[in-house]
Amino acid sequence: MLDAGYFNRSPHPNSLAWDSGANEMVYRGEAAMTLMGTWNIGYFTNAAHGWVAGRDFDFFPFPVIDPQLPRVAMGPIDGLVLPRQAANPAGARAVLAYFAGATAQQAFSRGSGALAPNRQVPASAYSELQQRVGDEINRSPIFTFAFDLAAPPAVASLGLDAFADFLAFPQSYPEIVRQLAARAALPGKTPQ
């Protein structure tokens, strides 16, 4: 896919923010697509952009590279937490229960485009696009977290930088991998 030119090499991927960079390039017609989560639904359908899902933008799963490997859905899981030293634990629990409820999750989904983690939110609450995304996730026997959420923060930062360098300079991958391994594998030390 890199050799076919499916990824932008300029500007350098680290110089683009997801919203003001990559998404705006798609919106202006300077890029054909972006690899993003469902929160992009809320971004493109907001008042500033006014796109209609299924007409102005759509979704498709990342292309299969090796059909011998199982399907994998990847994404984050957002959470609400109760601090150990909360000033009002009972009130905080009530707020957490409210936000975790189907009604609040449905409202959050409408605004953001994200799929609700509460399984009591009915499929009818989702747009046709969200339903297709949900179907794709449900067809995947494996769910995994994004690299930057699954790795220690210092290693995640190095890895994301290395991935961006790879997209910009794919021919340099041996050196990029060597530098990443050297910087991330210092026992007992924080990677630099």
Contact 148, 160 (CB under 8 A): yes
Domain count, the chain: 1
State residue 73 phi and psi, 5-degree precision.
-95, 140
What's the mean pLDDT in 180-190?
A: 74
Q: Is residue 88 part of a domain?
A: no
Residue 13 belongs to some domain of the structure: no
**Which residue, among 33, 135, 73, 58, has the nearest Cα to 22 in the 3D structure?**
33
Domain for residue 171, yes or no?
yes
pLDDT cut 70: percent of the chain above it = 95
Query: Is residue 153 assigned to a domain?
Result: yes
> 159 lies in a domain?
yes
Answer yes or no: is 128 within a domain: no
Rounded to an integer, what distance in angstroms lies between the CA atom of residue 31 and that of residue 60?
16
> What is the value of pTM for the model shown?
0.79
Please choose, from the candidates 176, 161, 157, 173, the residue with its C-alpha nearest in 3D space to the C-alpha of residue 15: 161
Range of the domain at 162: 147-191
Q: Is residue 69 part of a domain?
A: no
Tell whether 15 is covered by a domain.
no
Q: What is the pLDDT of residue 86?
A: 93
Choice between 36 and 161, residue whose per-residue pLDDT is larger: 161
User: pLDDT tens, 86-130?
Assistant: 999 999 999 999 999 999 999 999 888 999 989 999 999 999 999
Residue 22, phi then psi, degrees to nearest 5: -60, -50
